[in-house]
Structure 1
């Protein structure tokens, strides 16, 4: 399998972050494991996974991801034309070439599409806000983690906490399970093995509220408004002392950024974490903002727990990528994709509802 070009500084910094976690993290495996499992090629202007493109606008570069049926369905509205052809990318390229990158990306975002201007996002640390009293030190075996996240970054954070010894409960809806269940079973198991899997109806959120009230850590991977309008935010659900609520988003939770959709490749472009040259940029790694953000979120949770918790942590993929993009240039390493060791199969959809109900009955209520 062909090697992936990844800056040595990215590998070193990720290893430094991983070194303080209570689990062993193989950073090259973290960054290339999905590529190895799915036999993905190194990226160019097409992402390793194939759903994202780096495209030239009139005054710069931007990225667009068409990974969901809704994204493909929005292309005629984006281009204001039904003359698209058998594949949308040539028409999108022609449309972009005559428009400023910011204007084109703004239109794509208005339609709910994952898009980004190259280097638009500045580097920033996770945003920390205190929302409750801290708790006394707790062991990992005592922690209940509720994971309201799907795809990669959020579930990877949850998997690291599970490996540290926490009880991690992955919450999905029967009608809309984690999208990676429909893909490679090996990849799904890699980021979800060791968790309890339950289903719940977020429109009738009594069960979800009970989970969140009992949790020591909540991993949220949706846009904050989706939970807030159901009364399921960190400010509205009763909390145990020291609860840590980590929000993983594409572009943050402030203002209109909170409504932006992102995937790992376009988020990396937004943060300027790309390969190639200024004149001919290329995607770096395989959706690299996803694993770097999952690692960063696990580190942020670990540090919050050391402080006693009682905090909300906002971790944005684009800002995470931007921090790595600002590291000093130490050359590039050629990393051969490293396949993770086989994992125990993850639980089926809703397989552990009864088990988790028992955990909630035995757990002390929120303060």
Structure 2
């Protein structure tokens, strides 16, 4: 049977774009007129479709100079939004693409979501006190509709800690194709006590054939130690017949459930292996500078970088000559995740660093990215002999 695929854009009252995928099989007997007026979604196969509940994953990219103001405003006004529907979690990004927020909303059905969005758009407090102010602070918005995998249910974490969201690109066909093998691999981590599984979500709209697995750990350092131990466990190794993850996210949280679920989303490709027998890691940072501010940014950084290196070790700082222009790339060394957290706290309380550098440098940037890395086991840092 041949499948014709068409895509439709639907723009809601807030300017968000939702992509709908429709399939028209040759055996379909609907008339052309009815096809034009009806959206039919490509529904993945699997028992999760027996109920209509789904989870919407949203990611907002914030302009660097508005990040603090955005978070403060949302913290004050999020109760206006959660009065309309259930918020499962809200995080800010710590590792990966900086200046992002990531949140998960629960809906009973697509009709329920449409009713909620209509109510939200008609809520004068939400629109005037929050939306009208936060939208100009954003550079982009993305969303993805997901279902819980059939054998999974939401398990609240036992206490405060960090969360890891691992994203896998699966073969087409849904849980009926890869469900059993995937369940065995995930259960090998959860049932052996290495990790606490919060939930596993299968994409329905947005990038298709993706699975997001949400884990809980006591801390990033605890996660690193557990991963190293787990991958020496024969039970885990035997069940680990999975595709490579697209990305891994860590998330700090303060509490589970709305009205305000704050946390940090951290992205890091952390491989298992001998290098994780010690906790030292290297943070790669890339800043994209507004072209007209490039010279001023480099001059300011040259004058004030000593305020930053007073807190932790800088391995190197470079400006890009070939490739993406108007960028700087720098590497910072940390003894552990706890060490980095201490450094970041100290920096935020350093008046010279905040007043003389951060307040001036951040408005010059268009975006910030970072990545956590470990040295490959057989490698050590070798300083160059000269310039």
With the shorter chain as reference, the TM-score category is under 0.3
TM-score (norm 1): 0.24
Bigger Rg, which one: 2
Q: Which structure exhibits the higher relative contact order, with contacts defined as CA atoms closer than 8 Å and separated by 6 or more residues?
A: 1
Relative to total residues, which structure has the larger strand share, 1 or 2? 2
